[in-house]
Amino acid sequence: MLSFQVASFGQTELEYLLNQEELICKESARAEELIPFGNSRNEFAHQTDMHYLVMHWEIDPAVYYIKGEITYYFNSLVPNLTQLILDFTSELQIHSITRNGMLLTYIHGSDQLLRIGLGKSLAVGEQDTLTIYYDGIPPSNGFGSFEQAFHEQAPIIWTLSEPYGVRDWWPGKQDLIDKIDSVDIYITTPQGNLAASNGKLMSITESNGKLIHHWRHRYPIVAYLVALAVTNYASYSQYIPTPDGDSIEMLNYVYPENLDAAKQNTLRSIEIMQFYNEAFGLYPFASEKYGHAQFSWGGGEEHQTMSFMGNFTFDLQAHEMAHQWFGDKVTCGSWTDIWLNEGFATYLTGLAYERISPNLYWPIWKSSTSNAATQQPGGSVWVDDTTSVQRIFSSRLSYNKASYLLHMMRWISGDTAFFQACRNYLDLPGTAYEFGRTPELKGFMENASGKDFDEFLNDWFFGQGYPSYDLRWTQVQDSLIVWVGQRQSHPSVAFFEMPIPILVVLDDIENIFRVEHSSHDQRFSFYIGEASVDSIGFDPERWVLSRNNTITEISTATGDHLSNDGYIIFPNPVSSYFEIIPSTGIHKVEIIDAVGRARFHSLTGSKVEVSDYSPGIYTLLLMDQEGKIIALRRLLFE
């Protein structure tokens, strides 16, 4: 079993963990910058399949400018295809579009679409190829689709295209329906620079006093994960051992001024990846590399095979690496399902803490995440407005609450079924290296666990808010009786049906009772023999997302559970009725059977009719107008 050393965190790691919300907020900071035309979709994206791109870019980090040449190899998915239509900003200039040296016609309009006439009609499955030449000053959206900054007076240019930034710097399909099967990327830079990108670094060659960096990626990649960063990087490689005795290269491009610190901090990624390899299968791009490229932003972005990193805290390394499985290997098939990217990455960060420090950092992670998720009474994990970047990347909903959905699915399913379902989602044809949706994950979870997740997703994914639990309990001879009530923070959910854990301390020994909570004020009865109840606790390990829970011990007015309350109950044993003397002050009569099922009765004078009861031992509760128990009795029904 993989072993982690808590000491590897250093003295400031707790501070990083407690500030994990800051990390998530920085990563979701793109939400504050509403990208122009962010709500537009290329309704023609489904017409073609991009299977290979050769991408040439010329970048000088000191000059805010891009020059590009991209050759596209694509197939038609519809009959009689006469146009290739790509997303592309009108602020960059097309110089020409050619096929085999012949010019093609095109329309490049203010709607951010590039319509290219093919000069022929393609049948379904027929392949075509063309090359686009363009350049210009990309639009600045204030976040990072194409950005220039400085570190120690050295310039850097970097890209970050999620969710709607592809078109700001290259003509592509930025929809979530097509992955490019394979890419070759050539980045020309001035001397003294390194260019980070996707895949495996094949070569750096000199031509006309400049450097050409050739990256090759032979796995499917969605357009928003294609990326570059250029500056005077220092580079170093570390290696992650795999179970078969091989290793995976981790190539790090960092600012020279941060080199020594980075070499120490990125060692954490070795431990993290070994855990992910064990839990979710071998790193999806193991034949090429994993890596980091430092960039001038507080958060990170999971660019395929090379995460762009604003810093090298444990949280950020764990989060961005997790995306290589959840987000890159399997990408959410719609922005409504962004939780399949961000919820998983946030939860895997928590799982890394669970493996490293189950008694310290893991409880803190659960506390911090659940508190952040329940800061407001409403909000669904399902994204109801994909035109709003702020809504897509809500830190409270798409990160924190979403990660807790996964935590609760694990609680319902059990560890073996949960992790098997995650592997099936990642590995089975149709999702592996393609796109995933919530119904697919639900199906894998149901198949592995044998549980039905319809109600769960209706409440927790589509519904809004969270429950608050009210526990009332009392000890009656050899039994513990617990009533579990629930309040919902938002009216979209009538009731959160969940298995819940109740901690019962009996004679200083902790016991966990797992009960299926399916109705308000549901009663549960537990046989405890001669033991005495020291205390009751709710969900001590934080499996269920909740807030503002209460626990109340109830007793008779006299403090005596069994007698000396002034009431006489006769006859006992009971046949068809019993009487209560005196009957004044009694507002409600409740009779509970041996398994905790309860029925309410009204008094007819002082008499209670019970002729339809089966023989057995029952608990009688007499309550006043405020619902307080004023007497408890055991009755034998004959």
Bridge pairing between strands 229-231 and 194-196: antiparallel
Share of the chain above pLDDT 90, in %: 74
Q: Bigger pLDDT: 634 or 322? A: 322
pLDDT at residue 534 in the model = 93
Q: What is the mean pLDDT of the chain?
A: 91
Within the chain, all domains assigned CATH 2.60.40.10 are found at: 568-637
* 75 pLDDT higher than 70: yes
Amino acid at 351: L
Domain 568-637 fold is Immunoglobulin-like (2.60.40)
Mapped onto helix, strand or coil, the DSSP state of residue 197 is coil
Cα–Cα dist 248/251, whole Å: 10
Cα–Cα dist 468/489, whole Å: 8
Q: Superfamily assignment of 6-31+332-462 in CATH? A: Neutral Protease Domain 2 (1.10.390.10)
Cα–Cα dist 260/283, whole Å: 26
pLDDT at residue 24 in the model = 61
Cα–Cα dist 481/470, whole Å: 14
Within the chain, all domains assigned CATH 2.60.40.1730 are found at: 48-323
Whole-prediction pTM: 0.86
* 237 pLDDT higher than 60: yes
pLDDT per residue over 362-391, tens digit each? Answer: 999 999 999 999 999 999 999 999 988 899
Within the chain, all domains assigned CATH 1.10.390.10 are found at: 6-31+332-462
CA-wise closest residue to 230 among 143, 157, 305, 144: 157
Question: Please, are residues 460 and 492 in contact by the beta-carbon 8 Å criterion?
Answer: no
CATH number of 467-553: 2.60.40.1910
pLDDT per residue over 248-276, tens digit each? Answer: 999 999 999 999 999 999 999 999 999 99
CA 88 to each of CA 93, 168, 169: distance values in angstroms, whole numbers, following the listed order: 10, 6, 8
Written as six digits, the tokens of 347 are 């939860």
CA 634 to each of CA 205, 570, 577: distance values in angstroms, whole numbers, following the listed order: 89, 12, 15
Hey, which CATH number is domain 48-323, 2.60.40.1730, 2.60.40.1180, 3.30.300.30, 2.60.120.1360?
2.60.40.1730
Mapped onto helix, strand or coil, the DSSP state of residue 7 is helix
